[in-house]
Structure 1
Amino acid sequence: MKVNFLGTGTSQGVPVIGCECQVCQSLDFRDKRFRTSVFVETDQTSLVIDTGPDFRMQMLRAGIKKLDAVLFTHEHKDHTAGLDDIRPFNFSQQMDMPVFGRKPVLEQLQREYAYIFNDKKYPGVPQVNCIEIDEHAFHINGIGITPIPVLHYKLPVLGFRIGDFSYITDANFIPEDSYKLLEGTEILVINALQKESHISHFTLDQAIDQAIKIGAKKTFFTHISHRLGKHQDIEQELPEGIFLAYDGLELILP
């Protein structure tokens, strides 16, 4: 299984428009972050978790030509705003795109993208097949996927486990039952927004504590704000086995 980090930034991305901080002015490519998304590819299938505002550029930059499904963690705009750009996959693959999400997520998509779901569709609009999921495990083309319920302040969000790879973004609380679902994870991805406290995201220290508690062999932090600091500086502060993800990072899992 191959995992490609399409984006590792927070809702504003990095650099932030108009910001002149040292992170936003950095020349290190690892400090340039699209909105958070990840592409997962196996021999059987390929899928993307979340289609944020940068989805089109992420697909082009990664050279992705085939996409079998979209999974949504939650309904916030920085995770859904790129859905319209699945159209080239509709055309090239001659299929409706399977879109997986909890009921509130699918309802939000139907409101924001009403033109997709109208009875009388304008020619060329995205073609989707909405598939409601809950907290039960499911399959996409034979690939087992386990939802991991977490909280983003008071908003329920789903992380996903695929084999020994677990992905959690936009969270500041993990219920005890979800820790059981994470047992044995080899590669963990979890959000680490900034060093200062935040109402709906793990801070750097909190993310480190979560990584240690979950005990994956390797942990990568994502959904990173410009307030966290420069990539090269923060990585030197991290414990062994914990890393900052960056856009374009690829992982190969057995």
Structure 2
Amino acid sequence: MTVTFLGTGTSQGVPVIGCHCAVCRSLDYRDKRLRVSVHVQTQGKSIIIDSGPDFRQQVLRERVDHLDALVFTHEHKDHTAGMDDIRAYNFKQQQDMPVYAEPRVLEQLKREYAYIFAEHKYPGVPQVQTVPILSDTAPFDVQGVPFQPIRALHYKLPVLGFRVGNFSYVTDANHLSSAALDQMRGSDVVVLNALRHEKHISHFSLSEAVAVLEELAPRRAYLTHISHLLGRHRDVEATLPDFIRLAYDGLRLEVG
């Protein structure tokens, strides 16, 4: 399995508009963070988790020429705002795009993208096939690839992470139940969000994320959904346990 981080930033991205802090002024490419998203290639399938506002830029940069499915963790705009750009795949592949999400999230997409779901569609709008994720515990197939949902809380909002084989991915969360941790246990690679150093109402802080990862003890772990408040990539990474690294845009992993 190949996993590529399309984006590793928080909802504002890094640099933040109008900010002149050391992180936002950094020339290190690892400190340039688009909105969070990952591309999973496995079993001959190309699947993207979340399509934020930078979706078009991300798939062009990584040359994602074919896409079999789009999977959503939750309905927030920094995870869904790029869905219109699946049109290019509709035209190229001559088929509807399967979109997987919980029913609540699908309803939100239908409100925000009413033109996609209209009875009488304007020519050229994205063509989608919605597939509801009906359980937060039972595995489901994404075009033949088994996905294990992982329930997390983003403040009071229920969101999903996913385990695909030995890869577990959770973003936009600040609570994982013991059952969710058990679903992640034994993964070769675990990805978890770490927004900043200070405690946050809806995201894990750096110390909270590290504590979770030390308890899970995967072979490799990566932090994502990172804000400029966390600090410069090189400085933060130097403080982390050896098995935990900061993800960065364009990072590609091979997961057994």
Same fold (TM over 0.5): yes
What residue in structure 1 maps to residue 54 of structure 2? Answer: 54
2:228 is paired with a residue whose SS is: coil
Is 2:105 the partner of 1:109?
Answer: no
What residue in structure 2 maps to residue 69 of structure 1? Answer: 69
What residue in structure 2 maps to residue 41 of structure 1? Answer: 41
* Unaligned segments of structure 2, at least 5 residues: none
What residue in structure 2 maps to residue 205 of structure 1? Answer: 207
Does structure 1 conserve the Cα–Cα contact (< 8 Å) formed by 2:69 and 2:143? no
- RMSD of equivalent CA atoms: 0.6
What residue in structure 2 maps to residue 11 of structure 1? Answer: 11
Is 2:21 the partner of 1:21?
Answer: yes
State the alpha-carbon separation in 1 of the partners of residues 181 and 206 from structure 2.
Answer: 19
* 1:126 to partner: Cα distance: 0.3
Q: Deviations over 1:84-105 (max 9, x none)?
A: 0000000000110000000110
Q: Deviations over 1:14-53 (max 9, x none)?
A: 0000000000000000000000000000242110000000
* 1:253 to partner: Cα distance: 1.5
State the alpha-carbon separation in 2 of the partners of residues 175 and 126 from structure 1.
Answer: 37
* 1:140 to partner: Cα distance: 2.0
State the alpha-carbon separation in 1 of the partners of residues 142 and 92 from structure 2.
Answer: 20
| Residue pairs, 1:168-247, within 5 angstroms | 168-247=170-249
What residue in structure 1 maps to residue 165 of structure 2? Answer: 163
Does structure 2 conserve the Cα–Cα contact (< 8 Å) formed by 1:99 and 1:131? yes
Does structure 1 conserve the Cα–Cα contact (< 8 Å) formed by 2:43 and 2:145? no
TM-score by length of 1: 0.99
* 1:237 to partner: Cα distance: 0.4
Does structure 2 conserve the Cα–Cα contact (< 8 Å) formed by 1:217 and 1:241? yes
* 1:179 to partner: Cα distance: 1.2
Structure 2 counterpart of 1:161, which letter?
R
TM-score by length of 2: 0.98
2:175 is paired with a residue whose SS is: coil
State the alpha-carbon separation in 2 of the partners of residues 197 and 12 from structure 1.
Answer: 18
Deviates more, 1:7-16 or 1:36-45: 36-45
State the alpha-carbon separation in 2 of the partners of residues 137 and 109 from structure 1.
Answer: 23
Does structure 2 conserve the Cα–Cα contact (< 8 Å) formed by 1:44 and 1:142? no
* Unaligned segments of structure 1, at least 5 residues: none
Deviates more, 1:136-145 or 1:70-79: 136-145
State the alpha-carbon separation in 2 of the partners of residues 144 and 207 from structure 1.
Answer: 26
Structure 2 counterpart of 1:204, which letter?
L
Aligned length: 254
Structure 1 counterpart of 2:181, which letter?
Y
State the alpha-carbon separation in 1 of the partners of residues 107 and 216 from structure 2.
Answer: 33
Q: Deviations over 1:40-79 (max 9, x none)?
A: 0024211000000000000100011000000000000000
Q: Deviations over 1:186-215 (max 9, x none)?
A: 100000000011000000000000101111
* 1:141 to partner: Cα distance: 2.8
Structure 2 counterpart of 1:42, which letter?
T
Structure 2 counterpart of 1:183, which letter?
R
Structure 2 counterpart of 1:190, which letter?
L
Q: Deviations over 1:225-247 (max 9, x none)?
A: 00000000000000110000000
Q: Percent identity?
A: 57
* 1:142 to partner: Cα distance: 2.3
